[in-house]
Amino acid sequence: MMSDSLTLEVEDFVVDVLTGIYSEETGKPQPLRISIAVDLAMPERFDPDTPLSASKNYMDLKFAASGALPEGVHFKLIEAVAEHICETLFLQDDRVNQVKVKIVKLAIAEADEKIGMTLVRNRR
């Protein structure tokens, strides 16, 4: 028997983050293109008058990858940025079952290639 699912998504927004391991990367923010998908526990159905509290505000996803990142903290790896985003979303809402974060490092692309990683975390 298949179960229903709800995935909220915010894709391809750019945020400047202190990240990198090379000397030319440290000390200044670099642009990251971030996409987030969150699997969320959901009600039996969504009616026309279903309140927002039955789902999750999409801006919470964007906030986890922007305003919730600690100011002045240098993340050596973008994997650590993704980890922080996952932790923020799990702490925000008990209904979040899984978080998928894709990060592309824009500053190192030479021919529009997408260099980055995807991290998927499940609630434990």
Note whether residue 13 is domain-resident.
Answer: yes
**Sign of the dihedral through C-alpha 18, 39, 102, 35:** negative
Cα dist from 83 to 43, 80, 102, whole Å: 27, 5, 11
Give the C-alpha separation, 100 to 120, whole Å. 4
Query: Stretch 62-67: mean pLDDT, rounded?
Result: 94
Looking up residue 23, the CATH number of its domain turns out to be 3.30.1130.10
In contact, 89 and 38? CB cutoff 8 Å: yes
Give the model's pLDDT for residue 120: 98
Give the model's pLDDT for residue 2: 67
Each residue's pLDDT tens digit, 81-121: 999 999 999 999 999 999 999 999 998 878 888 899 999 99
Give the C-alpha separation, 62 to 10, whole Å. 7
Each residue's pLDDT tens digit, 30-58: 999 999 999 999 888 999 999 999 999 99
Q: How many domains does the chain have?
A: 1
Give the model's pLDDT for residue 68: 93
- Domain span including residue 92: 6-45+52-122
Note whether residue 1 is domain-resident.
Answer: no
